[in-house]
Amino acid sequence: MMQPSPSREVESASLDVQSITGAIGAEVFGLDLSRPLGGSQLAAVEDAFARHLVLVFRDQDMDVEALERFALQFGPFGETPYITPMKGHPNVLRVLREAGEEGALFGGSWHSDWSFQERPPSATILYGKDVPEHGGDTAFTNQYLAYETLSAGMKRLLEGVNGAHSARRSYAPGGTFGRPNPNSSMDIHGSEDALEIQMHPLVTTHPVSGRKALFVNDVYTIGIEDMNDGESRALLGYLLEHSRRISFTCRVRWRPGTLTMWDNRCTQHHAIDDYSGRRREMYRVTVAGEKPVA
């Protein structure tokens, strides 16, 4: 069950952490992320990350190279399919939406990044270069709590059961981003590969914390192993609705120079599409992860 966390914590002499909500997320002060973290600073960030799942760093002056250096302190880059990266930076996405742009918003539904991969990213890091004065927040939900608040009977039902994950709804030729859009600022290209299915446990065990988390999401979880469509829709519908209960969530408001990192193994996130007519430019990298296990 959710435990209350202090609204303000001091991790070390140089690291100040302020919780966003009692469920998830914290803002971190006292660090310049454009410079390499010292050993004690990195350990403090990793500790805060393990406890809060989403970390927000304000007023960071970073170019793409600095973002890459920051990410590599937590592990090698993850693989990013279907989207053309920044020129000269094969592991960095420029998440861009111009003021007059229309159509589906990239990341605009509840999901965990690339859960259709055999080894989804352990973490995602997103830097706000140019953001609206208001709108375009990102919401996050704690999937440890989503699992821990299930009934004992539901936990028994989910034990040993796999979910089917696929990129087909987004990146198959008939998917949301499956066909080239000449009016889009991002070069997203669909592929038949997106039809492939990857099985992952509905309940996973985090490789660092050892805690169990619900591992489903609206975008990439398309079914449940050994269930027919009606059974799968009914159970997934309940789990998906439960996974984003307001008491599990926080909401991050962006400002220029904000860097947010989140643990992709035990959270979901949702980019909120409420800034029509305003420009938004972000830089995004992922950190490689492990194969999810029960």
* pLDDT bracket for residue 181 (50, 70, 90): confident
Q: What is the mean pLDDT of the chain?
A: 92
Examine the pLDDT at 263 and tell me if it is beyond 90: yes
Q: How far apart are CA 212 and CA 60, in angstroms?
A: 33
| 1 falls within a domain | no
Average the pLDDT over 53-57 and give the result.
98
| 115 falls within a domain | yes
Other beta carbons within 10 angstroms of residue 268's beta carbon come to: 29
Residue of 94, 97, 111, 270 marked catalytic: 111
223 and 163 Cβ atoms separated by less than 8 Å: yes
3-state class (DSSP) for residue 41: helix
* pLDDT bracket for residue 221 (50, 70, 90): very high
279 is catalytic: no
| 3 falls within a domain | no
Q: What percent of the chain has pLDDT over 70?
A: 95
Give pLDDT, residue 9: 40
Least confident segment among 8-12, 96-100, 106-110, 238-242: 8-12
Residue of 52, 200, 269, 280 marked catalytic: 269
Give pLDDT, residue 269: 97
Examine the pLDDT at 12 and tell me if it is beyond 90: no
- Domain range holding 271? 9-287
Average the pLDDT over 131-142 and give the result.
95
Q: Could you tell me the sign of the dihedral formed by the alpha carbons of 151, 155, 156, 161, in that order?
A: positive
Give pLDDT, residue 37: 95
Examine the pLDDT at 233 and tell me if it is beyond 80: yes
DSSP 89: B
Q: How far apart are CA 182 and CA 171, in angstroms?
A: 16
Overall domain count for the chain: 1
Residue of 113, 165, 206, 270 marked catalytic: 113
Least confident segment among 8-12, 143-147, 163-167: 8-12
List C-alpha distances in Å: 78 to 87, 120, 137, 142: 17, 8, 24, 22
Average the pLDDT over 61-65 and give the result.
97
278 and 101 Cβ atoms separated by less than 8 Å: no
The CATH number for 105's domain is 3.60.130.10
Contacts 24+ apart (CB under 8 A), 175-181: 176/104, 177/82, 177/104, 177/106, 181/103
Give pLDDT, residue 272: 92
Give pLDDT, residue 6: 38
* pLDDT bracket for residue 190 (50, 70, 90): confident
Q: How far apart are CA 176 and CA 87, in angstroms?
A: 24
DSSP 29: E
Give pLDDT, residue 14: 60
DSSP 175: S
Q: Kindly give the pairing relationship between strand 198-201 and strand 54-57.
A: unpaired
| 294 falls within a domain | no
Q: What is the CA radius of gyration of the chain?
A: 19
59 is catalytic: no
CA-nearest of 233, 262, 265 to 140 is 262
Average the pLDDT over 28-35 and give the result.
96
52 is catalytic: no
Examine the pLDDT at 149 and tell me if it is beyond 90: yes
Average the pLDDT over 49-54 and give the result.
98
113 is catalytic: yes
Residues in the chain: 294
